[in-house]
Amino acid sequence: MFLAASSLLFGCVTKDAQLLLLSNADGDQDIYVYSDAGLTQVTSNDYDESHAGWSPDGSAIVYTSNLSGNPEIYTSDAAGKNQTRLTNHPGLDAWPCWSPDGSRIAFVSTRTRRESLFVMDADGDNVSELTPITQSANLPAWSPRGDTIAFLERRDGVETVAIIDADGRNHRTLVATPGVTGLTWSPDASSLLYSSRRDGNVDIYRTDVATGEESRLTTDGWIDAEPAWSPDGSEILWLSARNDHTRRQVYLMKSDGSDKRALTVGAAEHMHPGWSPDGKQIAFVAYDNRRFVLHIMDIASGEAVSLGANRLGGTHFQPSFNPRGGHVSLAAIGLQTPASSQATSADVRVRLAHMHQEK
């Protein structure tokens, strides 16, 4: 389904820029893509899609779908055409993750009785299991160099962050850590970033892949989650309720955990922050007045705008920019600058809070 840009966009998406998001606007969870031409519904069926991600060249989308009555992995282009089913097995096949060169896909499957890590060619051929069935694997994340896959492993009841070569060799446990989410590599492949629940609290941690040394980046006593590296690896986005201890805001810090500052303030609950490929903008979702609102913000200026997906209704998840480039022009109706923070609508409440620094 295609929706005209003129009827939907508050902001303006530049030529070739695309945003991928999940939404349950029509009752089940489907995939949508923004472009300069408008909004395209990539999947439209009575089943849920999840774990959606761009191919490295931005030409295709991989995702998990229950379309067949069982969780399987599919690909399609950004227009929703050329849908291809890559897996066909009674077990669960989910959490697909492209290799950096786009030639292979890592995924999790229960086809060997418990959740194990597998890889296959991008067309679904040459499926091979990487982890033994004596343990459980989840959250695969491919190294930017393409030679290693990180994943969350459970063995004998203990959760660990582990890595393994893409050919199944050199399986190594890095650190034991419970309740891990958001496992991501640094752009230079030297570190892993994640949130972990310990002592009843969730914080952001960074582990050196070579040494296994772990650093705790947040220590405020409130939930800190959904970390995301900047494209150059110098900064980290994340969510925290440290401001009023009730609503999560988007924060920014240096990659070593210093210079923490809030990017959003206000009554909205924020979620799913992600970077543009050039590191100049971020996308995130804000929930306020019983609406889920998709926003784009310029990091340098603090200007933000809400996009037309707000009129879809429903819940929006995990917006991500197409890696091939492009960004959103904020020179449009709905522009919000730091000086206009007195507005009350969720569409214009977001602003850069330069003065919110953690001491």
pLDDT of residue 330: 54
Answer yes or no: is 236 within a domain.
no
pLDDT of residue 69: 86
CA proximity to 95, closest of 80, 115, 121: 115
Answer yes or no: is 233 within a domain.
no
pLDDT of residue 68: 86
Q: Which of 216, 244, 269 is the last residue of a domain?
A: 216
Answer yes or no: is 230 within a domain.
no
The domain total for the chain is 2
CA proximity to 268, closest of 250, 283, 242, 252: 250
Q: Determine the structural domain holding residue 359 and report its residue range.
A: 1-44+253-359
Do 71 and 208 share a domain, yes or no?
Answer: yes
pLDDT of residue 223: 87
Answer yes or no: is 223 within a domain.
no
> How many residues are given for the chain?
359
Do 28 and 68 share a domain, yes or no?
Answer: no
Answer yes or no: is 231 within a domain.
no
Do 115 and 18 share a domain, yes or no?
Answer: no
CB atoms closer than 10 angstroms to residue 178: 12
Answer yes or no: is 167 within a domain.
yes
In three-state form (DSSP H/G/I as H, E/B as E, the rest C), the secondary structure along the chain is: CEEEHHHCCCCEECCCCCEEEEECCCCCCEEEEEECCEEEECCCCCCCEEEEEECCCCCCEEEEECCCCCCEEEEECCCCCCCEECCCCCCCEEEEEECCCCCEEEEEECCCCCCEEEEEECCCCCCEECCCCCCEEEEEEECCCCCEEEEEEEECCEEEEEEEECCCCCCEEEEECCCCEEEEECCCCCEEEEEEEECCEEEEEEEECCCCCEEECCCCCCCEEEEEECCCCCEEEEEECCCCCCCCEEEEEECCCCCCEECCCCCCEEEEEEECCCCCEEEEEEEECCEEEEEEEECCCCCEEECHHHHHCCCEEEEEECCCCCCEECCCCCCECHHHCCCCCHHHCCCCCCCCECC
| pLDDT string in tens for the chain (359-residue length) | 323 222 223 344 454 678 888 888 777 888 888 776 777 889 888 888 889 999 999 999 999 999 888 899 999 998 889 999 999 998 899 999 999 999 999 999 998 878 899 999 999 999 999 987 667 888 999 999 999 999 999 887 888 999 999 999 999 999 998 888 889 999 999 999 999 998 778 999 999 999 999 999 998 878 899 999 999 999 999 999 887 777 889 999 999 999 999 998 887 888 889 999 999 999 888 887 777 788 889 998 888 887 754 555 556 678 888 998 766 665 532 333 332 222 233 333 333 333 233 43
Answer yes or no: is 248 within a domain.
no
Q: Which of 189, 216, 243 is the last residue of a domain?
A: 216
pLDDT of residue 345: 34
Do 197 and 283 share a domain, yes or no?
Answer: no
pLDDT of residue 85: 96
Do 33 and 150 share a domain, yes or no?
Answer: no
Answer yes or no: is 246 within a domain.
no
Do 7 and 62 share a domain, yes or no?
Answer: no
Do 64 and 188 share a domain, yes or no?
Answer: yes
Q: Are 91 and 75 in contact (CB under 8 A)?
A: no
Do 193 and 100 share a domain, yes or no?
Answer: yes
Do 297 and 210 share a domain, yes or no?
Answer: no
pLDDT of residue 316: 64
Do 336 and 258 share a domain, yes or no?
Answer: yes
Do 5 and 69 share a domain, yes or no?
Answer: no
CATH number at residue 88: 2.120.10.30
Do 23 and 62 share a domain, yes or no?
Answer: no
